[in-house]
Amino acid sequence: MNKREVIVIGSGPSGSSAAFYLAQAGIDVLLVDKESWPRDKACGDAQIFTVFPIYKEMGIFEEAAAAAVNHMTGFTFSGVDEVITSYMAPEEFAFCTPRRIIDDIVRRGALRGGADFLENFEVVDLIIERGYVKGVRAVYEGKRLEVRADAVIIANGSHSMQARQVGIFNEDPDLAWYGARAYFDGVKGMDFRCIEEHLPHEMFYPAGYMWVFPEGGEVANVGVFITERALIKSGMRLEDFFWWWRDNTKIGKERLGEAKVLGEIKGWKLPSCRQLGNNCVNGAIAVGDAGNGIECFTGEGFNEGMQSGKIAAEVMAEAVKKHDVSVEALSVYNKLAGEKLNPYYGMMSAVRDNIASEPAAYSKFLAYSRALPGYPNVEIINTWIKYMKEELKL
Ligand SMILES: Cc1cc2nc3c(=O)[nH]c(=O)nc-3n(C[C@H](O)[C@H](O)[C@H](O)COP(=O)(O)OP(=O)(O)OC[C@H]3O[C@@H](n4cnc5c(N)ncnc54)[C@H](O)[C@@H]3O)c2cc1C
């Protein structure tokens, strides 16, 4: 195990996708994770449809579809006036699957694709020699060890010390979010087909919300997203938002008034972006949350992580085969990932700035949606675009 072509740190969706495509390109790849698998991850549990083509390429689509506790076709939103506004797409828009289950399906897909895997393997440091990342130092089975590699993919999430070690991190308090989720039973009034996002107070503008993602019967994944700046201003702790929402709002009271928490409330930090930045250094590429890959309006990062893992693997495989893992060679990743993901990041950023900029603007958009011909059978992304073009003249 002392020398591999590529080591991928972190077997979440981004790392497992990277490991799969590296192995498929004939690269000798070692995927490592500090946890015992399957592991939990604080999340809303929604995986939107844009990830389905990667599931298909990895040969896990059928398993992922069967494991989903909900196949959702719609979105429900509300603003400060708490009027429910729903958008129904003609086809399923997202799977809702607890991350303990779906992340393990993706990880096993990477192993079937040819990647080697070690769990309980905690990377503590990158080996850096003459300006190049050359492997990892880790704790494994109680011992410190080094594994050398031609290059490394850093995919160990938003708290990645290895991304920081090479200067890749984002500390903008308007783009860094905090999120917390808990499973609740006894949640009332949900439409099982819809992801719900509620923005009932000015502190949730331009980016934050309470969510309810139905997971079967009266069980739902309920959570809060809030930017770092808004969290500090609110004077509340993350977990207080659940009870604040229940005790101070109409929809919150309906959803959580009789509900009981199942298990713990779990929270995590999310680094979001308006456009991808530089995620390459000599010998390494950072992907997913480690590369600040969450979009900045809804906080979605699962699909972006898997897309970025795939693109990083393709660039890295070429670079390793050509024996050139310089930042110049790897920076093709910035270009390709930007071409793939920046249009979506840009659109969500525009929604944040122009539609959810403040409570009155958002209520106006929701009222416009409800007046559309065919409502609620209108799809949300097209409605955002149409509204910005036709009403806001952007
Ligand atoms: C509360 C919350 C709700 C969210 N809801 C959604 C949602 O509904 N839909 C959506 O698309 N996105 C959501 N996101 C964002 C989404 O969870 C992330 O974007 C996604 O998990 C990124 O995947 P990743 O593989 O980059 O990182 P992660 O999923 O965080 O995986 C990183 C892996 O690295 C491992 N690791 C960490 N450190 C080390 C180390 N030193 N050595 C070895 N291994 C290590 C970890 O154990 C972990 O398995 C949410 C985030 C939060 C916090």
Q: Answer whether 268 contacts ligand 1 (Cβ < 6 A).
A: yes
Cα Rg of the chain (Å, integer): 21
Domain membership of residue 33 as a residue range? 3-72+95-172+273-351
CA distance 62 to 60: 6
80 belongs to a structural domain: no
Whether residue 117 is found in the same domain as residue 232: no
- Token pair for 155: 């995919």
Whether residue 279 is found in the same domain as residue 234: no
First CA to last CA across the chain, in angstroms?
Answer: 55
What CATH number did the domain enclosing 23 receive?
Answer: 3.50.50.60
What CATH number did the domain enclosing 248 receive?
Answer: 3.30.9.10
45 belongs to a structural domain: yes
326 belongs to a structural domain: yes
CA distance 255 to 224: 14
Q: Answer whether 291 contacts ligand 1 (Cβ < 6 A).
A: no
Mutate which of 270, 285, 304 to test ligand 1's pocket (most atoms within 8 Å of Cβ)? 270
- Give the count of alpha carbons within 13 A of 99, CB side only: 19
Instruction: Write the CB contacts of 371 (distance below 8 Å, at least 6 apart in sequence).
Output: none
Answer whether 188's CB lies under 8 Å from 148's CB. Answer: no
Whether residue 233 is found in the same domain as residue 106: no
Answer whether 189's CB lies under 8 Å from 255's CB. Answer: yes
Q: What angle do CA 182, 218, 225 make, to 5 degrees?
A: 30
Answer whether 120's CB lies under 8 Å from 139's CB. Answer: no
CA distance 148 to 389: 52
Q: How far is the CA of 12 from the centre of ligand 1 (A)?
A: 6
Mutate which of 17, 43, 300 to test ligand 1's pocket (most atoms within 8 Å of Cβ)? 43
Question: What's the pLDDT tens digit per position in 49-61?
Answer: 999 999 999 999 9
Instruction: Write the CB contacts of 186 (distance below 8 Å, at least 6 apart in sequence).
Output: 218, 258, 259, 260
15 belongs to a structural domain: yes
Reduced to 3 DSSP states, what percent helix, strand and coil does the chain have, rounded to the nearest 5?
Answer: 40, 30, 35
Whether residue 143 is found in the same domain as residue 265: no
79 belongs to a structural domain: no
Whether residue 261 is found in the same domain as residue 278: no
Whether residue 249 is found in the same domain as residue 332: no
Question: What's the pLDDT tens digit per position in 285-310?
Answer: 999 999 999 999 999 999 999 999 99
Mutate which of 300, 310, 344, 345 to test ligand 1's pocket (most atoms within 8 Å of Cβ)? 300
Q: Answer whether 122 contacts ligand 1 (Cβ < 6 A).
A: yes
Q: What is the DSSP string of 57-126?
A: HHT-HHHHHHH-SEEE-EEEEE-TT---EEEE-SS--EEE--HHHHHHHHHHHHHHTT-EEESSEEEEEE
10 belongs to a structural domain: yes
Task: Give me the pLDDT at residue 2, please.
Answer: 82
Residue 254 has pLDDT above 80, yes or no: yes
Whether residue 217 is found in the same domain as residue 182: yes
Ligand 1, atom 37, lies closest to the CA of 156
Ligand 1, atom 52, lies closest to the CA of 43
For the chain, the average pLDDT equals 97
Q: How far is the CA of 198 from the centre of ligand 1 (A)?
A: 23
Query: Tokens 């004939």 sit at which residue?
Result: 26
176 pLDDT band, cuts 50/70/90, is: very high
Answer whether 340's CB lies under 8 Å from 373's CB. Answer: no
Task: Give me the pLDDT at residue 311, please.
Answer: 98
User: How many domains in the chain?
Assistant: 2
Whether residue 253 is found in the same domain as residue 382: yes
Q: Which atom of ligand 1 is nearest to the CA of 48?
A: 11
- Token pair for 264: 């713990």
Task: Give me the pLDDT at residue 200, please.
Answer: 98
88 belongs to a structural domain: no
380 belongs to a structural domain: yes
Whether residue 113 is found in the same domain as residue 166: yes
State whether residue 261 is helix, strand or coil.
Answer: strand
Task: Give me the pLDDT at residue 170, please.
Answer: 80
Q: Answer whether 270 contacts ligand 1 (Cβ < 6 A).
A: yes
Average pLDDT over residues 176-205: 97
Average pLDDT over residues 21-26: 98
- Token pair for 195: 């992801």
Task: Give me the pLDDT at residue 171, please.
Answer: 80
Residue 1 has pLDDT above 70, yes or no: no
Q: How far is the CA of 41 from the centre of ligand 1 (A)?
A: 6
169 pLDDT band, cuts 50/70/90, is: confident
Q: Which atom of ligand 1 is nearest to the CA of 39?
A: 49
Question: What's the pLDDT tens digit per position in 310-358?
Answer: 999 999 999 999 999 999 999 999 999 999 999 999 999 999 999 999 9
Answer whether 153's CB lies under 8 Å from 27's CB. Answer: no
Whether residue 198 is found in the same domain as residue 208: yes
Answer whether 146's CB lies under 8 Å from 137's CB. Answer: yes
Q: Is the dihedral of CA 133, 135, 136, 137 positive or negative?
A: negative
Cα of 392 vs its chain's centroid, Å? 29
Q: Which atom of ligand 1 is nearest to the CA of 290?
A: 26
Whether residue 191 is found in the same domain as residue 250: yes
This prediction's pTM: 0.97
Answer whether 303's CB lies under 8 Å from 182's CB. Answer: no
Q: Answer whether 300 contacts ligand 1 (Cβ < 6 A).
A: yes
Whether residue 119 is found in the same domain as residue 10: yes
Mutate which of 156, 270, 345 to test ligand 1's pocket (most atoms within 8 Å of Cβ)? 156
